[in-house]
Amino acid sequence: MEAVAIVSIVAAALTIGVLAAYLIILALILRRVNARLRTLTATLREVAAGTEPIGATVEAIEVELRRMRASFERFTVLDDPQASGADGGR
């Protein structure tokens, strides 16, 4: 075989080897990116589920707070010294 043929075969083998290494590295990078995207997607779904409309929950809390405020106001009116006329001599 002539030297030119040997050099051409070596160059072709080297080119194929470099391309194969490049493709393997690219596949590994894409696998990592895919794993990160899956994690990100799962996290975003959790956030979306956690931030669904909460109108009913807020309304229930508001009703309970109003009930507690009414109870507190009744309690403070009963114990208010000014309401009973006893201001302690002030």
Inside any domain, residue 90: no
Q: Are 2 and 32 in a shared domain? A: yes
Inside any domain, residue 88: no
The encoded tokens of residue 73 equal: 């106001």
Q: In this predicted model, what pLDDT tens digit does every residue of 68-88 receive, in sequence order?
A: 998 888 877 766 666 555 554
Q: In this predicted model, what pLDDT tens digit does every residue of 35-60 receive, in sequence order?
A: 999 999 999 999 988 887 788 888 99
- Evaluate whether 15 touches 23 at the Cβ level (below 8 Å): no
- Evaluate whether 85 touches 79 at the Cβ level (below 8 Å): no
Note the helical H segments in 51-85.
55-79
CA distance linking residue 63 with residue 18, whole number of Å = 70
What pTM was computed for the model?
Answer: 0.50
Q: Are 23 and 10 in a shared domain? A: yes
Residues in contact with 83: Cβ distance below 8 Å, sequence separation at least 6, in sequence order: 77
Inside any domain, residue 89: no
Q: Are 3 and 39 in a shared domain? A: yes
Whole domain around residue 35: which residue ranges?
Answer: 1-50
